């Protein structure tokens, strides 16, 4: 192997190693699909966004006299809003898993009931900043 090929091969390996060490980093703030009645985003990216309008999250309500229920809300930088509620135990459990660095996605039916709730904890989501 000549020196030029060796140099290119070594450079390629160094670049691949640097990329592999850095890890995949993805993220985005709130995205609302008004046709599909769904919202998704990374909680931390929404928090870290310079946009002061956007928000994303779910709240779990529990009272001594009733079953717990959730309300999920989202607002994007364009002012589109979406919210839903549910007392389905699986939805409540999923909402309890949300933290400040979660991927969150939910869908809403015409009556405002949450029909799908996805909570992801993935390495490629950035942490929230103060």
- Nearest-angstrom CA–CA distance, 104 and 122: 11
pLDDT 10s digits, 76-127: 999 999 999 999 999 999 999 999 889 999 999 999 999 999 999 877 766 7
Examine the pLDDT at 17 and tell me if it is beyond 60.
Answer: no
Q: Is 7 part of any domain? A: no
Tell me whether residue 78 is in a domain. yes
On whether residue 72 sits in a domain, the answer given is yes
> Would you say residue 93 lies in a domain?
yes
Q: What is the pLDDT of residue 124?
A: 72
Which of 88, 94, 78, 79 lies closest to 109 in space, CA to CA? 88
Residue 6 lies in a domain: no
Number of domains in the chain: 1
pLDDT for 79 equals 95
Is the pLDDT at 2 greater than 60? The verdict is: no
pLDDT at 16 over 70: no
What is the per-residue pLDDT across 21-77, written as a single tens digit (0 to 9) for each?
A: 557 777 778 999 999 999 999 999 888 888 889 999 999 999 999 899 999 999 999
User: Which has more confidence, 2 or 11?
Assistant: 2
The reply to whether 17 falls in a domain is no
| Residue 44, burial from CB neighbour count under 10 angstroms (0-12, 13-18, 19+) | buried
82 in any annotated domain: yes
Which domain does 98 fall in, by range?
A: 25-120
Residue 5 resides in a domain: no
């Amino acid at each position: 192997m000549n020196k030029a090929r060796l140099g290119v091969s070594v450079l390629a390996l160094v670049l691949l190693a640097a990329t592999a060490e850095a890890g995949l980093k993805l993220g985005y703030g709130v995205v609302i699909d008004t046709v599909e009645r769904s919202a998704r985003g990374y909680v931390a990216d929404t928090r870290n966004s310079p946009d002061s309008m956007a928000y994303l999250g779910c709240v779990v309500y529990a009272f001594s006299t009733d079953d717990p229920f959730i309300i999920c809300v989202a607002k994007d930088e364009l002012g589109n809003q979406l919210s839903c509620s549910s007392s389905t135990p699986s939805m409540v459990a999923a909402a309890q898993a949300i933290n400040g660095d979660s991927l969150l996605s939910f869908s809403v039916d015409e009556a405002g009931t949450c029909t799908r709730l996805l909570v992801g904890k993935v390495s490629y989501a950035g942490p929230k900043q103060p």
